[in-house]
Amino acid sequence: MSGPSFPTPDLSHLNSSHYKFVYEPAEDTFLLLDALEKDYRFLETLDPLFCVEIGSGSGCATAFLGSMLGSRSRAFFCTDVNPKAASATIQTAQKNSVAVNAVLTDLTQALQPRLNGQVDLLVFNPPYVVTTSDEVGSRSIEAAWAGGIDGREVIDRTLPVVNELLSPGGVFYMVVIRENRPEELMDLMRSRYGLESQVVMSRRAGQEGLSILRFQRPARS
């Protein structure tokens, strides 16, 4: 059964001058929104209290979640290593009437260990593009896409963090491309951290084979 449909967040406050420094929502962003919308009933039942988006960029995904789930009685945290992205996230949240805490930090360092074991909904559209290692580590727009070898260098740093942050019933959504070897990622998360996974949605965008993976701990019997 399909759930209700929700509008794409209003991003009219952002323009080409912003997108010189902040990742502009593209096919990967919209696939993530579609996957979250597809999972609306599941997320409604989950009723997440603490929601975190890693690398929020424009803030589009969290604004969408806030509008979809309602921001009352929820805490939305967005992190980004790029100061201009953190600023854009705040502007997008305000434009869409969603209360967001934007934190300037690498991955989730500033949130840990305070939120360890408490995050019910974790979202990450990582820098997944295959590049050389020396392109990784920027604090500007390159941080949004440069993923290093196999596009996995930032992703692989994040996986232990996911295990630390998720609450017992928490769920993690991540965007990947074929070159990231998603099946290997899914096997690793199961064998190392006991997190089950599935592909929520896939789509081809130009040369990229995009997928949204969902990870969660198995239900206790």
pLDDT at position 130: 96
Q: Which among 22, 42, 82, 57 is positioned nearest to 173, based on CA atoms?
A: 42
pLDDT (tens digit per residue) in 88-99: 999 999 999 999
Burial class of residue 113 (count of CB atoms within 10 Å of its CB; 0-12, 13-18, 19+) = exposed
Contact 181, 168 (CB under 8 A): no
Average pLDDT over residues 80-90: 97
Q: 4 falls in which pLDDT band (50, 70, 90)?
A: confident
Please tell me what DSSP assigns to residue 139: S
pLDDT band, very low/low/confident/very high, at 2 (cuts 50, 70, 90): low
Domain ranges of the chain: 24-216
Mean pLDDT across 169-189: 98
d(CA 37, CA 14): 23
Task: Return all residues near 55 (Cβ < 8 A) that are at least 6 apart.
Answer: 79, 80, 81, 85, 107, 124, 125, 126, 127, 143, 144
Residue 151: which residues within 8 A CB-CB, separation 6 or more?
127, 128, 129, 130, 131, 177, 179, 180
Alpha-carbon dihedral angle through residues 132, 190, 212, 208, given to the nearest 10 degrees: 40
pLDDT of 19-63, one tens digit each? Answer: 999 999 999 999 999 999 999 999 999 999 999 999 999 999 999
Label residue 73 by pLDDT band (50, 70, 90). confident
**What are the pLDDT digits (tens) for 112-153?**
999 999 999 999 999 999 999 999 999 999 999 999 999 999
CATH assignment of 24-216, among 3.40.50.450, 3.40.50.300, 3.40.50.150, 3.30.70.2500:
3.40.50.150
Q: What is the pTM of this model?
A: 0.96
Question: Could you give phi then psi for residue 147, rounded to 5 degrees?
Answer: -105, -5
Rounded CA-CA distance 122/39 in Å is: 14
Provide the total of helices (H) and of strands (E) in the chain, helices listed first. Answer: 7, 7
pLDDT at 102 over 60: yes
Band (206; pLDDT cuts 50, 70, 90): confident
pLDDT of residue 1: 44
